[in-house]
Amino acid sequence: MQRADGRAPDQLRPINFEIGIAPHATASVLVAMGNTRVICGVMVEETVPRWMKEQGVSGGWLTAEYSMLPYSTQTRKPRDISKGKLDGRSTEIQRLIGRSLRAVVDLEKLGPRTMWIDCDVLQADGGTRTAAITGASVAVALACRRLVEEKKLSELPVAKLVGAVSTGVLEGVSVVDLNYEEDKLVTVDFNLVATEEGEFVELQGSGEEATFSQQQLDEMLVLGRRSICELIAAQRAVLAEVAPMG
């Protein structure tokens, strides 16, 4: 089976992180995975949601918002505000981003503040949710580093890094990091979120009008974990350049 872009079944698209893309944010990253590009910005508010105060919940909170800009797709995507509500897909993805980052951030150490992660898709070519999580992991690490530098925190609340990648079955072969054209053709579609230690945060998968075997599932899990290790190595490399991690 030959992939249209010439990649091997287990090969990621080229990944790149551009730091400081949004100067007013506490931290920001433009992540590119192939032709998919997402800006991940983090801003910190020195307060917590009302429900935390009412319920007496200690520590801080981390939450995310996700949107696809109108020009991110081949045909214009209307803004959610024009429809008067957030579409179901965007709601699902931003909840996934929030869960993924809360799994690796110690909210007690974060203290009584809210960390907002805004992920805006500039260009969509498959894997926008996984790119958003991978970029947000870098942005959150940088934001926490800044809070420590500003003496607002005594230690980093980031326990570990997290990454995400798509896998699927294309023409009977398990492949990783699907672009848009492949995403339309696969018979099985999976998204994996995992830490640098290989611990899964979330698995999302389904057959696209098809079934899949235990062997195919195992192959996709192995591909996904291996690829996430590569993504986190790339995260660590860029973090080491701008803010060494412990």
- Token look-up 């054209």 returns 181
Check: CB of residue 166 under 8 Å from CB of residue 178.
yes
Kindly indicate the confidence band of residue 243, based on its pLDDT and cuts at 50, 70 and 90. Answer: low
pLDDT tens-digit series, residues 191-201: 999 998 889 99
User: Helix crossing, 128-149 with 88-102: angle to 10°?
Assistant: 40
Residues 6+ apart with CB under 8 A from 45: 113, 114, 116
Q: Please give the pLDDT value at position 245.
A: 46
* pLDDT tens track for 18-77: 999 999 999 999 999 999 999 999 999 999 999 999 999 999 999 999 999 989 988 898
Question: How much is the pLDDT for 244?
Answer: 52
60-101 pLDDT, tens per residue?
A: 999 999 999 989 988 898 887 777 777 788 999 999 999 999
Superfamily of domain 15-242: GHMP Kinase, N-terminal domain (3.30.230.70)
pLDDT of residue 89: 86
What is the residue type of 29? Answer: V
Residue 209 pLDDT: 79
Q: Which residues pair with 33 in a beta bridge?
A: 15, 36
List the chain domain ranges: 15-242
Q: How far apart are CA 221 and CA 55, in angstroms?
A: 39
How big is the CA angle at 187 (ends 183 and 192), to the nearest 5 degrees?
Answer: 60
Judge whether residue 143 has pLDDT over 90. Answer: yes
Q: Using the structure block, give the residue that is written with the tokens 């200690």.
A: 58
